[in-house]
Amino acid sequence: MTQGSRWITFAYVGAIGYMLAVTFNWPAFAYYPLLNHFDLDLKLPAKTNGPSMLYYGWIVTSAAAGLVLAFAVPKSITAKIPLALAWIVPLLLVIYSFIYCAHWFTS
């Protein structure tokens, strides 16, 4: 896996980082659509702000983690990542997301 191994590492770390960011609620920022405002302060918002959207913050968190590790890990290590992970990691993340979000669909 030498061709584009940095991008593959970015994809793996980004996907795993996204699930960690969602699970542990680690957004880089919050977006308030009623105010059209991005806020780095993640404290409990005032009731007049409306609901916050954390999705964009989770995306930035996972992308930052993916970029850092994709360029910090040497190519000699990333080239050894087996191709089987290309379908195993996404499959495991989909299964995990179904389990994690099951409370929205069952009551």
For residue 16 the two structure tokens come to 């795993």
**Dihedral class, residue 50 (left if φ above 0, else alpha if ψ from -120 to 50, else beta):** left
Query: pTM for this structure?
Result: 0.83
The pLDDT tens digits for 23-82 are 999 999 999 888 888 888 877 667 777 888 999 999 999 999 999 999 998 888 888 888
Domain range for 54: 5-105
> d(Cα 87, Cα 107) in Å, to the nearest integer?
31
Work out how many domains the chain is built from and give that number. Answer: 1
> d(Cα 38, Cα 56) in Å, to the nearest integer?
10
The pLDDT tens digits for 5-21 are 788 889 999 999 999 99
> d(Cα 45, Cα 38) in Å, to the nearest integer?
12
